[in-house]
Chains A and B, each alone.
Chain A
Amino acid sequence: MSFGLSRIDFEYGLATREAFGEALAEAGSDERIVVVDGDVNNSTFTNKFAEKYPKRFFNVGIAESNLVGIAAGFAASGKIPVAASFSVFLMANAFDQIRMSVAFPNLNVKLVGSHAGISIGEDGPSQMAIEDVALACALPGFTVIVPADEASARAATKAMLEREGPTFLRCGRPKVPVIYKDGADFHVGRANTVRDGDDVTIIANGIMVAMALDAAKALEDEGVEARVLDMHTVKPIDTEAIEKAANETKGIVVAEEHLAFGGLGSIVSMVVAEKKPTRMTFVDLGDTYATSGTPDELLVQYGLTPDAILDAARRVLKD
């Protein structure tokens, strides 16, 4: 797929779900790690872990509530459980189990949701997690990570397993453009400046980072220098980078593959409102469910394109 990219000739790497699966299998020599699957291991790529460590892999079937509860029990007995499924089934179907069995007792469970967003394409809205970031961010104590490419998904997986505490890692279905050619310098809670500039800031995560870079290239041709922040960690949010952007550039565009309410845009807005009010515009799914179509068709139809970001940046600058 093209993601509407036209100005930068990106290389393509693995889908973030596959990078997660490989990184998990690599980290699997740690005996504390167990994986709990909802019978989608060949979609989430936890099958790579299962092949290497079958005794520590548990396919509980199509039963997400039980899946999350079992993961919580593992964590309470000292294991590092990775509970992986399609993001929509994990976060939405089992939300009360996540709230009650994981977040409230603050257990060290790693929730990994694949097939996030509308870029899954033809399977349609029932399979698309577009509320998942809002749901995860609502939970006290949760860390929420949305990696942009293969390298950062690998790094995020490693960081997630090494950190103590409940975490949600959001992964996507399609192969994605490479943002970090030489591996990602990845720190939970610290945004990466993937392009510097002083005129406008684009804050993005997931597949929107490549689009933001593509839009920044177009802005450059118009004489506008855009700063692009890969805000891979939505919670805890990097308030410092946001405050700096609000101070040093004329406005902020937030781009995410998620509904408007409760995701990256909402959280960045809270920081901006408190620290340094500035002009903002938003590129997201708004307040609607999507439909079936090819991933690229859907991204165009629902306004998640480099051109949409470009337009949003122009609006921010126009005042």
Chain B
Amino acid sequence: MPQARSEDRTQLEDITRRLRKHIITSTTKAGSGHPSTSLSMVEILTVLYFGGVLRYDPTNPTDPDRDRFILSKGHGAPGLYAVLAVAGFFPEDDLITLRKLGSPLEGHPNLCRLAGVEASTGSLGQGLSMGIGHALAGKLDDRDYRVYVMVGDGECQQGQVWEAAMHAGNNALDNLTLIVDRNRHQQTDAVSKVQPLDPLDDKFGDFGWEVSEIDGHSLDEVSAALDWARSVTRKPQAIIANTVKGKGVRLLEEAQAKWHGKPLPPEEEQRALADIGATS
């Protein structure tokens, strides 16, 4: 049975800075990618992989008893790759090969090419259904692994998310946790302007989920919410994490609607790393 890694508070904070640094440097080096959508989920990824939650073993990435983390919002790949590298699935030095020909770090996650990636995603709305398949398989086999799926709030405009929400709620999948990275922005504008989804908590609640709303950048709140999720029985859990797109980099935070899918230009990199507190 793989074990969860539990780092202390100072370590966790240090990891958030490392992830942010990798997200910025890898996307700037690539000259494309989605740094801002990756930055909004850094604290969540940190607690999942290092805060005593996910049970995994980088030396045995397909262990049938491992917990699964599915990044449904596949454009957050730079964030996923950063946390997988820091967790030891592959060398951190490889992160700069993001999006380069020959690199397994494709623009969006590819299950076939990179250990630790649980699902090939990038066409939005599909991860929760896959998570349900894993969760049902775990119940059938009497394994106690848990399945975590992360979606974006804009992604919740996809109908498949609600097909899956209906199914998980009706089937009391308590080994399934959905995390909504609610950074409130999508490609062209704010979610509230494009196609509002509020109240999101009521929607999941109506489908039979237990719902918790937190500050997705508070390590304490994220940690407490994931503890809570594991204590819930007979219902799937949705954690709605309020986040900021581009969190930690002033330039991105100040114009969140403008930076979707855009890397920082090289001349902004040092200032961004200074913002993060991770000057290389």
Contact = CB atoms under 8 A, between A and B. Distances in A.
B129 A72 contact: yes
Chain A residues touching B, range: 20 to 34
Q: Which of A34, A69, A104 has the most CB of B within 10 A?
A: A69
A101 B64 contact: no
B119 A76 contact: yes
What class of interface size applies to chain B in its complex with A? 20 to 34
Given A66-B163, A69-B160, A97-B160, A76 B134 contact: yes
**Which 6 pairs show the lowest CB-CB distances between chains A and B?**
A73-B133, A69-B129, A66-B163, A77-B137, A63-B163, A73-B130
A34 B141 CA distance: 12
A56 B141 CA distance: 11
Nearest to A75: B133
Contact of B126 (A61, A79, A101, A106): A101
A79 B64 CA distance: 11
A100 B120 contact: yes
B137 A79 contact: yes
Interface of B: 64, 110-112, 118-123, 125-126, 128-138, 140, 159-160, 163-164, 166-167
A70 to B, nearest CB: 4
A96 B122 CA distance: 11
A66 B111 contact: no
A60 to B, nearest CB: 6
Contacts of A105: 110-112, 119-120
Interface of A: 34, 55-56, 58, 60-61, 63, 65-66, 68-79, 81, 96-97, 99-101, 104-106
The prevalent SS among residues of A at the interface is: helix
A69 B64 contact: no
Contacts of B129: 65-66, 68-70, 72-73, 97, 101
21 contacts: A60-B163, A60-B167, A61-B163, A65-B125, A69-B128, A69-B130, A69-B132, A69-B160, A70-B130, A73-B129, A73-B137, A74-B133, A74-B134, A74-B136, A76-B130, A77-B133, A77-B134, A77-B137, A96-B126, A104-B120, A105-B119
